[in-house]
Amino acid sequence: QMQLMQSGPEVKKPGTSVKVSCKASGFTFSSSAVQWVRQARGQRLEWIGWIVVGSGNTNYAQKFQERVTITRDMSTSTAYMELSGLRSEDTAVYYCAAEIQLPRYSFDYWGQGALVTVSS
Amino acid sequence: EIVLTQSPGTLSLSPGERATLSCRASQSVSSSYLAWYQQKPGQAPRLLIYGASSRATGIPDRFSGSGSGTDFTLTISRLEPEDFAVYYCQQYGNSLYTFGQGTKLEIK
């Protein structure tokens, strides 16, 4: 059964960093790509960036370019998204999603989401 | 960055009716790079359509996608109660992805 399991909710202070994990199972992680998307309460989906797992190549939305790092650990089939310089506007549910048939430019499998709350 | 504009913002229809959702791009998008997702409250998005017109695994055939260039359409031929949700288009271009702002399909 193909699935992505994300880490749990986080509460962070402004100015700190958060690292969210996304563990893959049931498919060949090394042949996939993983995107990260966030959604504030009641708001639209916002694309953060993605990683092609095999090559490790990453691309980020310009809005997040300075603050985000997406990595992967192929030994544990886990992708990570780290966001630094947190502010209250970063409070959102963060999703990972995998494209398992490259290149199809669409993401079949989604994690359950991880709520990140930024509050002093 | 390619901007996707979805219309209408909200669509009010009854079960059994036909729904037509639009996604317009600020510049031409390859059909291979256009996808549609459905999201219900409290859930992660679900892939419906990839490559502008191919249904993802397990998606009923009442869902269809079409379009090319800058104009793409998601059509739901006969609405079922479970189809009322928010729909997003997503495109890939210049190594980046972007989403539209979404169309909320609500029960009339």
Residue B105: per-residue pLDDT: 98
Of the partner residues A46, A95, A105, the one whose CB lies closest to the CB of residue B44: A95
Size of interface A-B (CB pairs under 8 A): 57
| CA–CA min distance B16, chain A (Å) | 27
- Given an 8 Å threshold on Cβ–Cβ distance, is B45 in contact with A35? no
What's the first-to-final CA gap in chain B, in angstroms? 35
pLDDT digits (tens, 9 = 90+) for A86-116: 999 999 999 999 999 888 899 999 999 999 9
Q: Which residues of chain A have pLDDT under 50?
A: none
Residue B88: per-residue pLDDT: 98
Of the partner residues B56, B88, B97, the one whose CB lies closest to the CB of residue A35: B97
Mean pLDDT of chain A: 96
Residue A110: its chain B contacts at CB < 8 A?
44-46
For residue B3, count other CB atoms closer than 10 A to its CB: 12
Amino acid at A26: G
Residue B6: per-residue pLDDT: 98
Residue A83: per-residue pLDDT: 98
What are the DSSP E strand ranges found in B30-81? 34-39, 46-50, 54-55, 63-76
Residue A103: per-residue pLDDT: 84
pLDDT digits (tens, 9 = 90+) for B56-79: 999 999 999 999 999 999 999 999
Cα A105–Cα A110–Cα A112 angle in degrees, nearest 5: 160
- Given an 8 Å threshold on Cβ–Cβ distance, is A59 in contact with B95? yes
Residue B51: its chain A contacts at CB < 8 A?
104-106
| CA–CA min distance B19, chain A (Å) | 20
Q: Which residues of chain B have pLDDT under 50?
A: none
- Given an 8 Å threshold on Cβ–Cβ distance, is B47 in contact with A106? yes
